[in-house]
Structure 1
């Protein structure tokens, strides 16, 4: 396996937990870049296209798979003359050991958010209308051989939204092994809660098995209320040559206005039911 020409940094987090915000802040620093689209799950899934979920075990990271994904990291580094390549795909929270088999040089940033805030926000994405510019940016990075498969899946998901009683997509976010069963047995808010819980628990379990020097945990609420302090901690962890002025500029647009917004979208009975469902995991993310 050839050496990478840069330092890979992988952001791990459940959907709607501030992963985009964290990526964008880091990429505002000199020498730090990412792909010019939101996520690259298509790249991570190449070679395992028909695996039934995003919970790829490490043994699925075969030599051809590793070689292909690592080439994509190197492409970004060369294209933008970068020292650090940041990757953020929420589905990776279900397969950290697979990711680490592909990029064992990586450092990890694990961002967590209040569980019910994340659930309330995720529910809106399950019901979101078509965003053609967003889709076009991601489609650029679909391997050509995989395009027919994803086109069919995307069309089915959109058609499903038209006939669904809940007016939701057929699938959204990290796909768990038992996703179809969960969608058949639970209302959407409970599926979102379970999806959030699995992402957090599986990420934490995998990261805690690594050396502490390889990963750093960040609280979303901490970051948005004390952005310069938290970014300084991340810069120190990643050993980035960013000055205080650079860091202040990078977090200039960070706001705490989304704290509590997801919870506010849920009624009292739903909050009570979801708190009972996700239990201690939700409390840990506060």
Structure 2
């Protein structure tokens, strides 16, 4: 879903007048407040257009205005505005923005949280030994969910069943607010003995088999004293020294995706609003920040979305490379996304050998054919899918070439 042309202020004025008239004609409740919201929207659109006009630099600013309009006016009054041509016009411009999410309860998620709440009240337990835990480190939208779901089929693997955002950032000292939202970067200095011990305990509370059996749900005598832990959270790509300090035996799988494909997918993710990392973040002029918070993000104010995504890609991959090269070669393994897609059996077998994960018939059958599409995939993978954003991405690729060449050499050596 590419960036769509922005309507000029004169058209917005006409649409706002139509919406105001429709609400008054339908005797919508609180029409006065709605009129005030619409007037504010109109004035802010004028100011934003004066600053950005129809350039891509203003994409996030326009998105903010449309998101606020949707929340404050369009959704609360959808009963009275369902036949409004003005709404249809605005929604056509909102095509690059995800529709409002359903408010219906997710009963499966609520049941899971209830079970987890009971486990959180468990006290006096011993943490298992995390033997050579495996951390997938990669950019978001680089295939880490697909790789995680595939490796989860190995026998005797334990996970927490989700990404570790809450486990890690639920600790005040590890939340980016503790460092004025400078980034998601954590180093060995952040892994104090108390922090490390507490974090291992928090992971233990959520440990489960790949069939969903909670570790703490087992009788104490039946809990294994040693576990093979598998984890993937894209933000952890910025935390390799920290994870190494907390889990001294940690192994890392570096999953890499070529910049054009990865940056395009990041742009798609920003526009979808499904990967919001932080809202109303100090120092960021927009409502939402998506994906991981990279060092130096303050310099991205008023930059086009493609440049923001490219900066996330470049900074994260550079830090992964820098951090992993401080570790022995036996502690990390390189995987190219293309190899994962095109030659899954060979790629997963190499990981099995690296991480000492026992191969079995289930893994053989799974990798003998194309891997199933990940649950977080927007659309079926295709090498040229990035070209929908080519006009924005292509000018940025030469600046990434030095890093791409370093990583290409790494792929050859691996």
Instruction: Report if TM-score (shorter chain) is over 0.5.
Output: yes
* Per-residue deviation, 1:71: 1.5
**C-alpha separation between the residues in 1 aligned to 2:288 and 2:140?**
17
* Per-residue deviation, 1:213: 0.9
Against the structure 1 CA distance between its residues 129 and 178, is the aligned structure 2 distance closer, same or farther, given a 3 Å change threshold? closer
Q: Which protein, 1 or 2, shows the higher relative CO under an 8 Å CA cutoff with sep ≥ 6?
A: 1
- TM-score normalised by structure 2 residue count: 0.56
Instruction: State the match for 2:363 in structure 1.
Output: 247
Instruction: State the match for 2:290 in structure 1.
Output: 172
Q: Is the 8 A contact 2:187 2:241 kept in 1?
A: yes
Q: Is the 8 A contact 1:221 1:259 kept in 2?
A: no
RMSD between aligned residues: 2.8
User: Runs in 1 of length 4+ with deviation above 4 angstroms?
Assistant: 283-286
**C-alpha separation between the residues in 1 aligned to 2:130 and 2:406?**
37
Please show how residues 136-175 of structure 1 align to structure 2 within 5 Å: 153-154=278-279, 156=280, 170-175=288-293
2:149 paired with 1:27:
no
Please show how residues 262-277 of structure 1 align to structure 2 within 5 Å: 262-267=385-390, 269-277=391-399
**C-alpha separation between the residues in 2 aligned to 1:42 and 1:235?**
29
Bigger Cα Rg: 2
Q: How many pairs were matched up?
A: 254
Task: Point out the more displaced range, 206-215 or 251-260.
Answer: 251-260
1:233 to 350, 358, 361: 350
For each residue in 1:93-112, what CA deviation from the matched residue of structure 2 results, as whole angstroms up to 9, or x when unmatched? 12211121111111111110
Structure 2 alignment gaps of length 5 or more:
1-126, 216-222, 374-379, 409-414
**C-alpha separation between the residues in 2 aligned to 1:127 and 1:58?**
34
Please show how residues 83-162 of structure 1 align to structure 2 within 5 Å: 83-129=227-273, 153-154=278-279, 156=280
- TM-score normalised by structure 1 residue count: 0.79
What SS class does the counterpart of residue 262 from structure 2 fall into? Answer: helix
2:178 paired with 1:68:
no
Q: Is the 8 A contact 1:54 1:91 kept in 2?
A: yes
Instruction: State the match for 2:55 in structure 1.
Output: none
Q: Is the 8 A contact 1:116 1:282 kept in 2?
A: no
